[in-house]
Structure formats: structure tokens, C-alpha cells
A and B are shown apart, each in its own frame.
Chain A
């Protein structure tokens, strides 16, 4: 017998993977350090296709990393820094134990530090890559900037996060990049379009946090370390792209515009060059142009409007949002620095209040609730203020992130807003009609099933008749012979055709292969579920509306 005996688990996919513990040993790092390294370098475990093979026959749950990734980590200079830090901590402990204070001081002065610049550059080779991945960074920084000095993280980190987030918001204001805002129960979602990338972030409400105990803050702090570096570089680049100075000075109030490196007067909107195009491209181009126009209009949504924020409304969010769309905003001096005008200013057009009623009212301004601002932004038009006056029940606040496809449920409020966007006057009847249309569509979808049932029903009824007769006969009764005038069966040719088609389809489905049938069933199941959910929502809405109507009638009486 020639050749060496082949050993198991020495070739094939096993060679591509390494378990976490082995990787850790190879890197000679402790588990927390390994974790930190993975977080910073963006290394994540991989799920092998055949886990048992990779696990050398064992089915024990293990996490696997790509061996290439781990080899890549071996050359990371930061690993050396981690080891240095370990040594540093050991020395420091020793010095403390010996109460050698001079040694402690000397060690502290030489505390090893590291920079993450090269890692950022490596993980995001181009600026757009970095922008694409900034969502989590923003969420995290906004969260950390709301932390109090509770010892959960370094105060410097909190301050840095605060600085970076304010810088970011100022950039968004300066670039007028904000697109959508959504007040959810978790916090406020913002979506901005920066250099063609949609960036969404979530800002918690301004309350002190009830810090949970089952959260590892070290992990969060490591992420924040990376994210602050990333955000800093991005901010720098973004500011420079707008010819703004970086780092900017005095930002916290969000009321003043940023200092420019070049005077802003020279900036002009570059006109899109026209290229000769044909056919479909033409349509696309037109659509794009339309969209762009719409966007331009949205950017100037609040131009010329002057807002005043009462003290109970979320100042930072509203100031940010209003300034993003060209409005002027101010607040009471005692609330925060940076207020630009007083309540008594005559030119104020909108006063945002979040109370049942305002104590002193000026005649020439609208007193509205804060939701109006957000709804206007999402609808991209200035909505009528009547629904948002003080003490009025607010219309529902809809998520701007939901894009309804055909067959999806659309709340009537959205239909209303879409009508407004098209420039139609809101009319009650229209809405109802539309609702009905929707219902019909849904019914059609269900038709297939119903038809079957109907057929069966017909047959069954005939059967019943026959059975009756049979019974009577068996009981020895003479049949009631009776001639009844026959009924013309009206055959609807359309319906017949439809039925025929449906049957054809059913028969064809019977001939499907097993695999395809499975897939088809799955898809159809999903579709049906969707329809069911939409129907459920419609029914719920209808029940709610009916109940409300009844209530209204009662109160009228």
C-alpha cells in the first residue's frame, strides 16, 4: 500500500477556520484584550458551512474565526501596545504595593497609549466606506454624550462624544442634509443624506439613564473609542468639503452658523449639465430632475419662518431640525445660551408650545405643538397648522421610513398627506372612496380561494336536493311531482373565463416539482400573511373609527 495514510481533519475546510480560544493563544492575548482587538479591527466570527467537519467531529458549540483574519491580526501594532499596557499595569501594582510613590508617578507619566488612525484607514480605505458605516458610530456617540459622570466611562470620552455630535449636527445644518425625522418611543430618529449616503441615527430623549447592571460597559467603551476616532475624521473631512473651519468654535447652542474659511457669497449651486439621452433614460433623467427639485424645495421648507421655542419643548432637537430647513429659531434666555431674539419679537411666525394652553398669546403668530415641525419635514410641505393648535388632539405621527408597496396597508392619514403633496384639497369623500378601492383590491386577491369554495357549495346544494328526494323515496312517499318554472342560468362569460383560468392554474400547480412547489408555497404563504395582516389593520381601524363616530354622536346628543 503506497503513500502515507490520510489523517482526518487536516485538509479541507478545517484549515480555513480557527476556534476563538486557539486564536487567542496564537495572539497571546487575554480574552478581554482579544475582544477589544476584534472590536477595533472589525473581525467577526464566521459560520462554517459544515460545522461538524470544522469542529473535528465534535458538535460542541464553538465560535470560529477565519484563520486569515487571525493571521492578519498578528501583524497589528496595537497588539504590542496591549502587551505593553499589561506590563504597565503590573508595574504599577507593584509600585503601589511597595508604596513607591515616585515610581508610581514615573510609571503614570509613561503610560502606554495608542492611536487608532491607521485602523480607521485600514477598515475604511475610502471616505465613502467610512460614511456608509457611520450609523452605529453616531448612535453610540449620541448615547454617550447623554451620560452623566457616573463612572461608567471616562469624563473625557463623554465630552469628546458631545463635541463630535454637536459638530456633526452643525455640519448637517450647514449642508442642509437632513431628510427625515421620526419621533419614536425610543428616541428621535434622524435621517440625513450626506454625499449620496443615507445616514440614520437615533438620539435618546434627554433624561438621565437608569444604568442597567447586565451591560458590559467595557465593550461599549471600546466601541466608542473607535467611533469617536472615526467620527472625528469624518467631521474633519466634511467640514473641509464645505469650506468650514475645523475644529469649529462655540457650537453648543446650535443657533449660530459656522465660520467659513471662504466667504459664502461665492458659492453657487452647480447646474446639472444636460446630456442628450433617449427613451427610457430620458424618463429616468426627468424623474431624477423632479426629485432634485423636490429636494431643493424641501431644503427651503422653513425659509423665512421665525420660530420661538417654549421652555418645555425639546430644544436641541427642534433647533437642529428647524435650522436644517432654513428657519430661524430662538428660545428664552434662561433656558440656554445662544438665544437670538426674545418672545416679544414681532416677527415671530410660529411659537412652539407643548402645553394645553399658553398664558399670554400674541396675535400675529401661530401657537402650535412640536409635532407640526416634524410632520412638515416628513411631508416635505408646510402642512396646515389647524390640526396642531394647542389642546387639539394631534393626528398620528407616521414613520417616514415606511414605503408602502402594492398590497401593503396604508394608514388613511398617509393617504391624506399624499393628497396634500399632490396639491389636492383635502376632502372627506375622496378618502373614503380610496379606502373602498383598497378593500376591493384585497378582496380580489382572496378570490382564488373563494371560487373554489363556491363551486363546492353549488355541488353540495345539488347533492342535498338529491338526497332529500332519495330519502322521501326510501320512506315510501310518493314524490311530490311538481313542475316549477325553470330558471335561466345567467352565465357571465367573464366570470367563466376567470374560473377556467383559475382551474388551469390549479392544475398546473399540481404538476410542479416538489422543490419548486415548496418554494412556491412558501412565497404564497408569505403573501397571504401580508394580506391577512393588512386586512387585520384595516378592520381594526374601521372598528376604531366606528367607535369614535358613535362617541361623537353621543356627545352631540
Chain B
């Protein structure tokens, strides 16, 4: 009800305002008198619309008038907008209400209405109607009268100058207004000026209007005896609301379906602790077989102390290194610092980081069980017979044979053990007496051109075969045990003429191989049987000379074989290779090496067996000769026993070459070695 009232009031006030606007400028004919009448009208209308007039007497109207006005003001301020479509409704209501008013009043109203009907009141001075006057801007007339004749604008021939003069001379110029409707100038009266002033100040147009009259509070906290309005209660207030019913039924449905749950009872067991492990049972343990507990954080050492011993603090170099290193490479994740007292220790800036990283480790880090070897390193060393028990073997250097000026490539001892022959890169072969280390004879074989000289001594006859330049470089010569045959090696990639066997008695040579099977490194005759060993780059081939076929091919498992020696028994072969290995083959066992000996640090250049003692030696570029004990058993079931017994040093490494050849004394446990330092040494 109140809302309705508000709206009507709103509308009224709007209308009034419009009226006022018009009235302000319509004063030419009836400027003053109209206002009073307007007031009257508004009063009476208001009283009707507000629906408050119970008494219906005129005397009270005056009192209420002010109240209503007050209300109106408030509403003006609060109401936001008036809605056009509702106007009709309101008017209907108006009529209803009007119906309740006494007849006498009605008559009065009607008179008034006709007199001051503003709705279809037209300005009789100008019949053009309520249109924008700009439309006639360019025409001399300003509209048409009833007869259709043009109404001309009043003649205005004022130019700027006239206007200015008028402004200067006319005392009423400031209150002169141009009326667009009629195109004439109007001079405002004092009252009108006053009114304009008041409106500009935001005051009420009426001077006598009191805006601060005491208000009657209808809607207070006090319970009144009578209702505020006389309006009978609506029908809908007696009928149950359909909308509400719908809403309730929706809620009921939701509750029934379990969509809305009743308010939860506060669960106070949460956050309360009890004896969780009261009844311990191991039934849940199944999963935990695979469970790896996370490792604990390592405990801090002295260096983490706030006051560490001075040796744990970083020196400048260490600090620089620490700063340079990547965080993951650092040994310590922090720099040790020393504080003179506990008071000065600051907060650790990476504390939260470290805890967070620990968290990440706990849930993101894959865990794996790792067995840590806990071995005493002494247990790893194999238990071998003591070298002392395996004597005799050469232990000390006793003689040095000097005289050569180039590398001593090869040496050979006479079967008697009295003489030693050596071939050198200086192109000479020298013969030495073993015991006195005296050079007995020098034979120049290579002439002026220095070529590698290889030689070998024949066992039964003490012949010396030496090889040198004969078209191509002869790499090696080997005697047959009986001394009638001699094999020479001339390594060549492309030829099948790499190995030649010469027969001394018949003075003829033969080429045993029809095909080139790889670069031949060295050859050897079997000491007893008619076998011939040919070592190529990666393997050793054994040929049966009687049957003229290959019987075996030994895989050396090394990159490049350098030397080879055959055991005097004939069942074992050692192969030295440039990749630091010495491989021992047991011919009865397999074509693979029985043992790989990685004793040397550099390329192995020579290998030799002792003829009678169970010894073998290897010479290498690291300047050492390693003598090993190698017992071969007659029992086929027992594998040879190999024990290194002595490392002999003495040769000086020159041009990255150390010991080039090694050979044993035929009867004594002595070993000769020739080296790149142009010396031959005897170890006894």
C-alpha cells in the first residue's frame, strides 16, 4: 500500500514540476494569481490520493497539507524512478479512492479541473503546438493561426551592436528573456526573479513553505490501536501461498532424496588422542615386507657447529672452490662459520628449504635397496705361494752391456750360454761374452743405412741368423729346433709372401702359404713336433707342417699381438700384445687364453720362456721386465700355476720405448733384456 502511495506521490510531484516549469514562462497573461490556485489544487488532490482523509472536513485539510508535502519530499528523494506502464493502474486506483470521497467535494474538484485544465491547455498566443522551435529557425513565420495564416515572428532587426547598446543602456536588460515560443522578449517581474533565485538556490518556490515541520511517525515501534490504513486485508493473506508450498515441497523432496543432510553433529573425536596401539597385532604387516623405511637424515659433523674447531673453517681457496662448484657437487651444502658467542648466531636462511627438500625426498624419491660391499680389502688379494719358495729366479741387475748406439732390437744367447748376440738399430750386430760383458766382435750388416736388425741363434750349431734389409724389412727370424730350417717374417699387408722358410742344407727357400691371412707379427716352430705357429694381428694359427693344414686358431682377445713364445714342452704359448696384456694359452684346454695377465702399464714388447726352469718373462715399454713363475704339470687335470715373482727395473725409457726384447739364459736362471736406452742388461 505504501509503495503505491509513493508512486502516486512521485507522479504528482513530477507533474507539478512540469507544470511549474511551464508556468514560470507563462506569466505574460496571468503571472501571479495562478500560483496560489496551483497550490490549492495540489493540496486537494494530494489529500485525496493519500487516502488519509477520514474526517472529510475542510478544516483539517490545512493541517494535513503540510504533512503530505513532507512525505512527498521524502519520496522524491528516495524513489529512484517512476514506471510508465504502471501509470494506468495507479490511475485506476486513484479513481477507486476518489470514489470514496463526498459528493460536495467532487463537484468542487470538477469546477477546478475545468478551470485549470493544463493537459490540453494550449498557448493561445502561438498555435504551433509543443514542437521544437528550431524547426522554424530559418523561416520568417513561427506557426499558423486557426485560419491557416502564417504567424510571423516579431521583427527583430537587432544586430550585435544594437544588442550591445541595449545591454549598456537598458537597466532591465539582465531580466529580459527571449521567449522561443513566440520569438518575443519578456521582462521578468520582481516576483519571478525572486522565484528564479530561490529555485537556483535549491529552495522551495513558495516562500511560506516550512520544510522543517514536525513529522508524524506512523510506522514506529509503538503498537497503535487503529490500523494505519483503513484498507481491508487482501484475500491472498487468507489463502495459503502456492509459491511457498512449492518451495517447501522442494525442500521436503531434497531431504527425502538425501540431497540435504541434517546439520552434522560436531565430531569431537577428531584431534583427540587415545591409545592407538592398545591391541597390537601384526596382521596388517603383510605389505611391510616390501616396505623400505626412508633413510634418516645424516647427523651433523663438527663443521656444522656454530663454533667449530678452526681446522674445519674454509680457507680462501676452499671458499672460492665452494662458490664455483655446482650445488650438487659440493661436499658441504653450507659454509662453516664461526661465531664467538651463541648470541650472534643468526637464523639459518635455508631452513625451510631443507625441510621441504626432505619432504620431497620422502614422497617423491624412488627407493631402492642397495647392498653395500663390506669387504676387507686384504681378503680380495689372492693367496699365492711366496716368491721365496719359488726360487731360483733373477732378482738383481748384475751386468750392463754397453756399446750400441741405437735401440737394441733383439738379443740372442748361444746354446752354451757363453755368448750373447745383439742386433741394434745402428746397423750392427755385436757379440758379447756373457760373463765379462765385453764386446768381442762387431759386425756391420746394414751398411750405412740404419735398419732394424733381427737375429736368432741356432741351438745345436751356434749359427747366428741375422736379418736386415733385403728388398723389404725382415721383422723376425726363427730357427727350427734341429737347426736345419729357418723361418723369416716380412710383414706386408698385401702379399702372401710374408713368411718364408729356408732350408740350410739344401740352400733353398719355400713359401708355405698360398694366401694372405693377415699381417704376420711373428712365427715360431714347435720345439718337438712338426708344428708351425704364426701370430697375426689378433690370433695365433698353428699349422701342421706334415699334413700341411691348420690345426688350431688361438684367439688372443687383444688388439695387436706383439710377441709370442712357445713353452719348451710345446703345449703352452704366451702372447704379448701392444694393449698391455700377456695371454697364456693352454693348447690342450681351449683356443681362448687360460689367463690374461695385465701386469704391465704399457705395451708388452717381448716374451720368453726359460728352457729348463719354470720361468717366463715379459718386457714392456714401461721399462720393466716381469719374471713370473709358471709351473706346468704333467697331469692334464691340473692347470698351470702362474705366480709373478719379480719386477725387474733398470732400463731407462727413451722416446717412450722401454725394454724391447727379453731372453733367458739357456742354463742359468738369468734373464737378458735389451732396451731403447742402447743397453743390454743381465739380471741374475
Name, among B339, B346, B366, the residue most crowded by chain A CB atoms within 10 Å (CB to CB): B366
Contact (Cβ within 8 A) B356 A185:
no
Residues in chain B near residue A117, CB distance under 8 A:
276
What's the dominant secondary structure at chain B's contact region? loop
Name, among B280, B302, B356, the residue most crowded by chain A CB atoms within 10 Å (CB to CB): B302
* A126 interface residue (CB < 8 Å to B): yes
Within 8 A of B (CB), among A407-451: 411-413
* A346 interface residue (CB < 8 Å to B): no
Shortest distance between the CB of A500 and any CB in chain B (Å): 8
Give Cα A35–Cα B356 distance, bound, in whole angstroms: 14
Contact (Cβ within 8 A) A182 B351:
no
* A240 interface residue (CB < 8 Å to B): yes
From B267, B277, B300, B351, A401 is in contact (CB under 8 Å) with: B300
Shortest distance between the CB of B592 and any CB in chain A (Å): 15
Contact (Cβ within 8 A) B264 A209:
no
From A215, A219, A509, B353 is in contact (CB under 8 Å) with: A215
Residues in chain A near residue B400, CB distance under 8 A:
466
Contact (Cβ within 8 A) A504 B387:
yes
* A355 interface residue (CB < 8 Å to B): yes
Give Cα A205–Cα B348 distance, bound, in whole angstroms: 8
Within 8 A of B (CB), among A37-94: 38-39, 42-47, 63-64, 66, 68, 72
Identify the closest chain A residue to B355 (Cβ). Answer: A143
Query: How many residues of A sit at the interface, in one of the four size bands?
Result: 35 or more
Residues in chain B near residue A140, CB distance under 8 A:
355, 359
Inter-chain residue pair count (beta carbon < 8 A): 274
Contact (Cβ within 8 A) A354 B276:
no
Within 8 A of A (CB), among B343-381: 343, 345-349, 351-356, 358-360, 362-368, 373, 375, 377, 380-381
* B215 interface residue (CB < 8 Å to A): no
From A135, A232, A370, B342 is in contact (CB under 8 Å) with: A370
Contact (Cβ within 8 A) B342 A399:
no
Shortest distance between the CB of B630 and any CB in chain A (Å): 12
Known pairs A46-B366, A520-B381; A207 contacts B305 (CB<8 A): no
Interface string of A185-217 (1 = CB under 8 A from B): 111010000000000100011011111101110
From B264, B280, B351, A186 is in contact (CB under 8 Å) with: B351
Residues in chain A near residue B285, CB distance under 8 A:
125
Residues in chain B near residue A215, CB distance under 8 A:
352-353, 356
Give Cα A216–Cα B359 distance, bound, in whole angstroms: 10
* A516 interface residue (CB < 8 Å to B): yes
Known pairs A219-B356, A396-B308; A210 contacts B349 (CB<8 A): yes
Contact (Cβ within 8 A) B305 A399:
yes
Shortest distance between the CB of B670 and any CB in chain A (Å): 19
Contact (Cβ within 8 A) A64 B296:
no
Shortest distance between the CB of B159 and any CB in chain A (Å): 66
Stretch at the interface among A254-262, A293-301, A322-330, A537-545: A537-545
Contact (Cβ within 8 A) B277 A126:
yes
Interface string of A505-529 (1 = CB under 8 A from B): 1111111111010011001100100
Contact (Cβ within 8 A) B288 A207:
no
Within 8 A of B (CB), among A108-140: 109-110, 113, 115, 117, 120-122, 124-127, 130, 132-133, 135-136, 139-140
Residues in chain A near residue B351, CB distance under 8 A:
143, 186-187, 204, 209
* B270 interface residue (CB < 8 Å to A): yes
From B287, B342, B364, B649, A45 is in contact (CB under 8 Å) with: B364
* A385 interface residue (CB < 8 Å to B): no
Contact (Cβ within 8 A) A133 B293:
yes
Contact (Cβ within 8 A) B277 A204:
no
Residues in chain A near residue B274, CB distance under 8 A:
233, 236
Residues in chain A near residue B598, CB distance under 8 A:
510, 514
From A39, A371, A504, A511, B363 is in contact (CB under 8 Å) with: A39
Contact (Cβ within 8 A) B348 A187:
yes
Residues in chain B near residue A182, CB distance under 8 A:
300, 304-305
* B311 interface residue (CB < 8 Å to A): yes
* B85 interface residue (CB < 8 Å to A): no
Give Cα A130–Cα B275 distance, bound, in whole angstroms: 13
Give Cα A353–Cα B368 distance, bound, in whole angstroms: 49
* B386 interface residue (CB < 8 Å to A): yes
Contact (Cβ within 8 A) B343 A66:
no
* B118 interface residue (CB < 8 Å to A): no
Give Cα A124–Cα B287 distance, bound, in whole angstroms: 11
Known: A313-B343, A399-B305. 15 other contacts (CB 8 A): A45-B365, A47-B368, A143-B351, A200-B296, A215-B356, A219-B359, A236-B276, A237-B277, A240-B275, A399-B300, A463-B652, A503-B647, A510-B597, A510-B599, A527-B377
Interface residues of B (CB under 8 A from A): 260-261, 263-264, 267, 269-271, 273-277, 280-282, 284-285, 287-288, 290-291, 293-294, 296-297, 299-302, 304-312, 315, 334, 336-337, 339-343, 345-349, 351-356, 358-360, 362-368, 373, 375, 377, 380-384, 386-388, 400, 402, 597-599, 626, 642-647, 649-650, 652
7 contacts between A and B (CB under 8 A): A44-B294, A121-B277, A122-B284, A139-B355, A212-B352, A401-B300, A507-B646
Identify the 9 closest CB pairs spanning chains A and B, nearest first: A401-B299, A207-B347, A47-B366, A541-B311, A540-B311, A396-B309, A232-B273, A184-B304, A397-B307
